Structure 1
Amino acid sequence: MPRIMCFDYGNKRTGIAVTDPLQMFATGLETIHPKDIIDYVKKYLLTEQVELFVVGEPKQTDGSPSQTAQNVKGFITILKKNFPSIPIAMMDERYTTKLAAAAIAQSGMKKAAHKDKYLIDTVAATIILQSYMEKKSLGF
């Protein structure tokens, strides 16, 4: 069974997570610079099948689009252009960065890890993907 790949897109960093082949668990891959995403995904697709991209949808607390929503739309356009056969789903990413930072803090990692923005973005992508999978399993 192909995997699902998730992106927590940002102008400086993009966290990436994937499911296992059975689509039961989300695992963080890494955080990379946005300019490197397409090459990274092309290389990943040489060894793994991906049936769906999930992209974190930035929203304000009231549900309206956040300031970075336009950048995410541009990223989605680039994904569609480079990978037209892979559908894209959006998933609300509100609070995922805070949840990721809290999870890292509670994990027992050294204090330096608590402020590692690359690690936080990878964990945030994992949280977004896990939320998507839970929503999907509930039939939404």
Structure 2
Amino acid sequence: MAKIIAIDYGKKRTGLAISDPLNMIATGIGTVDTEKLIWSLKQVLKENEVDKILLGYPQNLNGTATDITAKVEKCHQQLQKVFPDKEIILCDERYTSKMAFQVMIDSGLKKKDRQNKALIDEISAKIILQGYLDFL
């Protein structure tokens, strides 16, 4: 069974997560410089059979666009062009950063470690993916 990748797109840094072959468990696979996202995805796809890419879609609580929504929409179009054989799905990412921060607190990370924004981005991608997997 093919795996699924999730992307938590950011202005500077982008978090990535991937499913297990049975599409039951999401695992964070790190963060990449947003400028290198496509190259990084190509590398991940060389090593893994993937048929879907989830892209976190940022919105305000009332459903309006955020300051980064347009960049995510542009990324979505680029992913569709570069990976035409993959299903590219926009997924609501509201609250994922807050949930990621709470996961860090609950896991007992020290305050200094919780300030690691890259870790928050990776956990956010994992939350996006696990939410999707839970509804399969």
Corresponding residue for residue 84 of structure 1: 84
Alignment partner of 1:123 is 2:123: yes
1:1-140 aligned at under 5 Å gives the runs 1-135=1-135, 137=136
Amino acid at match of 2:19: T
Distance 1:47 1:126 in 2: 19
Contact 2:18-2:126 within 8 A present in 1 as well:
yes
Distance 2:8 2:47 in 1: 22
CA RMSD of aligned residues (A): 1.0
SS of the residue corresponding to residue 6 of structure 2 reads: strand
TM-score (norm 2): 0.95
Identity across aligned pairs (percent)? 38
CA displacement, residues 93-114 of structure 1 (integer Å, 9 cap, x when unaligned): 0010011011111101222221
Aligned pair count reads: 136
Gaps of 5+ in 1: none
TM-score (norm 1): 0.93
CA displacement, residues 42-62 of structure 1 (integer Å, 9 cap, x when unaligned): 111112111100011101011
Contact 2:8-2:14 within 8 A present in 1 as well:
yes
Contact 2:100-2:120 within 8 A present in 1 as well:
yes
SS of the residue corresponding to residue 84 of structure 1 reads: coil
